[in-house]
Structure 1
């Protein structure tokens, strides 16, 4: 059962509620739940992809102004995408999203107060994704004072590192976005069997974003004053040595380790070909 359905314009920042009983109410979304791979059979083999596709969503519109406002936004987003290289919109159903453009509306019933018809939506990602975020904090005890004892010893005994992990509930590998907070020089993080390394110095108040969720993949450093620097070429991208900054997160429980001198967030995307039923 669907609870929320929205369209977000990346161009205008406007969000249209498509499950609004007093505006646009889209109740039939069966085609959004369709799980389809395009495939070609070979000799005892199969090649498959998940390309962009169009689906129809049936909607009841209570009030013509709501429909006119939505169609103006859909047209403006389409024009900007085709002519200005603008980002497409995003359709979100109960937290699951993908980029899209609304390419048509076919009414089959009209009255002074009500319009019923099908919206044609071009789904551009081929998959639905739902972000999950997990934060890992800097160990202040480990890097501030060590561990105190009532007697003098030749060494400071640092607190034991916490055992950290990510439990990826997806059945598929998940794309990741890492946000690493400064100050830190040459941050290194091991997730599962892969090491993420960037040869940069992240200043205090700044942060580094290593984003493997989009296309193309990006790595940028944001200073405390908001200045942005492209540092893609500073990331390690050696897949053969398991030092790939844009590696996906495998399913299941993955151990996470770092020197705990800095904090970071991991956002990973659960992915499904069709919308889940629950």
Structure 2
């Protein structure tokens, strides 16, 4: 990895771990991966990626004051119960640093072996924002005739697709912009629907990441309201009407009408990619 840092949740401060004065060397402990599972008769069940412990060697060069600084930030997150974040080239994972054992102490170098609890078992990175425009920003969707007919003509097909570069379904964040009345979006056969209106100038945000699922409405003045109860969850995962349904792999057809929305697919890996 080219860059590695720890972001303290309690203060927002970032600890660079790739030098010039604090080094994590190759950080091989953070690179490992492990699945949790139960063995059966010629089978594997209960497969998941759970929290695990890892070791991280840190070397401080001519900066004993930074040993104190990093300790205070690591401990602040553990004491507050708010996990910090390791960031490796933009791939992030939530973690606590729960232990430090001195290895070498000289006037120039202090080396410590840290014990890290990695909570997610995975690393995530946000993909590029995929934008799906409102009808007003897409001319030619409706046929225009010089006089009225007894029925309306169906809007032309947008041929829009949502893209997930991973070979498995991935979590997402979706932002729906007002004005919109009970907005519904279909991606790959699943309907994502809110049973509430979004006023002009406001937007709804749906976060479908495990452990962080939320649905909020941000008003034009910036006020944020929890509207989790206004999100349809149907029969849950793979039920066809689940607000947090992960985005399928590859390209999926998208259907919506009237409003505009943004979609960000989060890629997940068991360890930070090597390339």
Q: Does 1:232 align with 2:231?
A: no
Tell me the alpha carbon deviations over residues 65-101 of structure 1, each in whole angstroms, 9 at most, x when there is no partner: 12211111111111111xxxxx311111111111101
Pairwise CA distance, 1:202: 0.7
Distance 1:252 1:244 in 2: 19
Counterpart in the other structure of 2:78: 78
* Structure 1 unaligned residues grouped into runs of 5+: 82-86
Deviations 1:90-149 (A, max 9, x none): 111111111101112222112223212322211001111111132222232557996668
Matches within 5 A, 1:62-211: 62=61, 63-81=63-81, 87-132=82-127, 133-142=129-138, 152-154=146-148, 160-211=156-207
1:44 deviation in Å? 2.4
What's the offset of the Cα at 1:190?
A: 0.9
Deviation of the 1:20 alpha carbon: 2.3
Q: Per-residue deviation at 1:243? A: 1.0
Q: Deviations over 1:22-76 (max 9, x none)?
A: x211122222221211222122222233221111122221211122111111111
Deviation at 1:160, TM superposition (A): 3.6
1:269 — aligned with what?
266
1:19 equivalenced with 2:18 (yes/no)? yes
Q: What is the Cα deviation at residue 235 of structure 1?
A: 1.2
Contact 2:141 2:157 in 1 (8 A): no
Could you tell me how far apart the structure 2 residues matched to 1:195 and 1:251 are? 16
In structure 2, stretches of 5+ residues that fail to align are none
Contact 2:142 2:156 in 1 (8 A): no
Contact persistence 1:9–1:15 (CA under 8 A)? yes
Relative to structure 1, the CA distance from residue 52 to residue 147 in structure 2 (aligned partners, 3 Å threshold; closer, same or farther) is same
Q: Is the 8 A contact 1:28 1:57 kept in 2?
A: no
TM-aligned CA deviation for residue 208 of structure 1: 0.6
Tell me how large the CA RMSD over aligned residues is. Answer: 2.3
Q: Corresponding residue for 1:60?
A: 59
Residue 84 of structure 1 is matched in structure 2 by: none
Would the alpha carbon gap of residues 221 and 119 (structure 1) be closer, same or farther in structure 2, given more than 3 Å must change? same
